[in-house]
Copies of this chain bind each other. A is one copy, B any other.
Amino acid sequence: MTGTGRTVGELGEFGLVAAVTARLPQHEGVLLGPGDDAAVLAVGDGRVVATTDLLVEGRHFRRAWSDAMDIGHKAAAQNLSDINAMGAVPTALLVGLGVPPELESGWVEQLADGLREECALVGASVVGGDVTRADVIVLGVTALGDLQGRTPVGRDGAQPGDVVAVAGRLGWASAGLAVLTRGFRSPRAVVEAHRRPRPPYAEGPHAATLGATAMVDLSDGLVGDLGHVARASGVQIDIVSSAFVLEQPLLDVGAALGVEPLGFVLGGGDDYALAACFPAEVELPEPWLAIGRVTEASGEPQVLVDGAPYEGVGGHEHFR
């Protein structure tokens, strides 16, 4: 820890803001960074892409399972990923932070380090925020992005005949969560994947350039998130499960926990991989992996796996 050993309450709101702000360099394009009523960003494209998420301790993360830097990385990643899924490049993050006064201020500094380092992967900056008191740690994260002239890729453009493909890891984070939930800390690769997802940041803009008709990031799980695409586009999506190569860590977790490892791939969220639909004539480059087809919806738009509705976990529902 790099902190002062003081609690947030001892440091005070303004001391905490100063300590955090000092750790957040501002990149080119930030015309006015933290410290005023609002930040000002250059927007070359004439459009800005914006998304927000609210993360609550105990529900979206646990301090026992992830350190502050991990939590910062992941909170940034899941919002940067939403920008990625539009075909845009993230430019800025704003973070509203609620913390208990007895929290060590070093924890908040490490959180800021994690946010900063994840942002640095895409050239974005943490340009603003807010701190306040809360009984559990709460993070309200907003990401902004730049389409750089590209057409935004929504969820509603999938066409029958399109190929469905994914980029990035699938199932690793949920396999990690499964082992942590059972009190284990290994395989390390999946636990690390739960703590720090690795969204394929280059692939959102890449897919847009390739002509993707629809795209979504996988926060809730492949079948669940493709369900949003199917409903928004009014199509059926047919996934072929043999398209997936099940990596060793997933096989290991499946064997150890007595569960089908394909379930992590099809139903597990939080890897922030991308799923996109492409016209059949598009030649898909690495790392895109074709996993199925878009077809006409016969009845309700839906996602089928090997020709049948998927019976596993079909996406996360926050109020269940």
Question: Closest CB-CB distance, A83 to chain B, in whole Å?
Answer: 6
Q: Contact between B138 and A101 (Cβ–Cβ < 8 Å)?
A: no
Question: A31: nearest residue on chain B (CB-CB)?
Answer: B47
Name the interface residues of A110-133: CB closer than 8 Å to any CB of B: 127-133
A8: B residues at CB distance < 8 A: 319
A134: B residues at CB distance < 8 A: 54, 56, 59, 138
Question: Closest CB-CB distance, A8 to chain B, in whole Å?
Answer: 6
Question: Closest CB-CB distance, A294 to chain B, in whole Å?
Answer: 18
Q: Contact between B82 and A38 (Cβ–Cβ < 8 Å)?
A: yes
A39: B residues at CB distance < 8 A: 49-51
Is A97 an interface residue when CB atoms closer than 8 A count as contact? Answer: yes
A88: B residues at CB distance < 8 A: 38
Question: Interface size for chain A: under 10, 10 to 19, 20 to 34, or 35 or more residues?
Answer: 35 or more
Is A187 an interface residue when CB atoms closer than 8 A count as contact? Answer: no
Is A44 an interface residue when CB atoms closer than 8 A count as contact? Answer: yes
B-contact bits for A223-254, CB 8 A (1 contact / 0 none): 00000000010000000000000000000000
A49: B residues at CB distance < 8 A: 38-41
Question: A138: nearest residue on chain B (CB-CB)?
Answer: B138
Q: Which of A144-152, A166-174, A279-287, A301-309 contacts B (4 or more CB under 8 A)?
A: A144-152
B-contact bits for A83-110, CB 8 A (1 contact / 0 none): 1011010001011111001000000000
B-contact bits for A42-80, CB 8 A (1 contact / 0 none): 111111111111111001100000000000000000000
Name the interface residues of A1-40: CB closer than 8 Å to any CB of B: 8-9, 11-14, 16, 31-32, 35-40
Question: A140: nearest residue on chain B (CB-CB)?
Answer: B140
B11, B138, B147, B155: the one within 8 Å of A37 (CB): B155
Question: A316: nearest residue on chain B (CB-CB)?
Answer: B13
Is A136 an interface residue when CB atoms closer than 8 A count as contact? Answer: yes
Roughly how many angstroms separate A97 CA and B56 CA in the complex, as a whole number? 10
Question: A274: nearest residue on chain B (CB-CB)?
Answer: B37
Query: Which A residues fall within an 8 A CB radius of B?
Result: 8-9, 11-14, 16, 31-32, 35-56, 59-60, 82-83, 85-86, 88, 92, 94-98, 101, 127-136, 138-145, 147, 152, 154-156, 215-217, 232, 317-320
New A-B pairs, 13, CB < 8 Å, besides A37-B155, A53-B130: A8-B319, A13-B319, A31-B47, A37-B86, A40-B47, A40-B152, A43-B46, A52-B140, A54-B138, A54-B140, A96-B140, A96-B142, A142-B142
25 pairs, A vs B, C-beta closer than 8 Å: A8-B319, A9-B319, A12-B317, A36-B156, A36-B232, A37-B51, A37-B82, A37-B216, A38-B49, A38-B50, A39-B51, A40-B47, A40-B49, A41-B49, A42-B47, A50-B144, A51-B128, A52-B94, A52-B128, A52-B130, A54-B96, A59-B133, A98-B138, A135-B136, A144-B144
**9 smallest beta-carbon distances between A and B, as pairs:** A140-B140, A54-B96, A38-B51, A52-B94, A37-B85, A142-B142, A37-B82, A13-B318, A9-B319
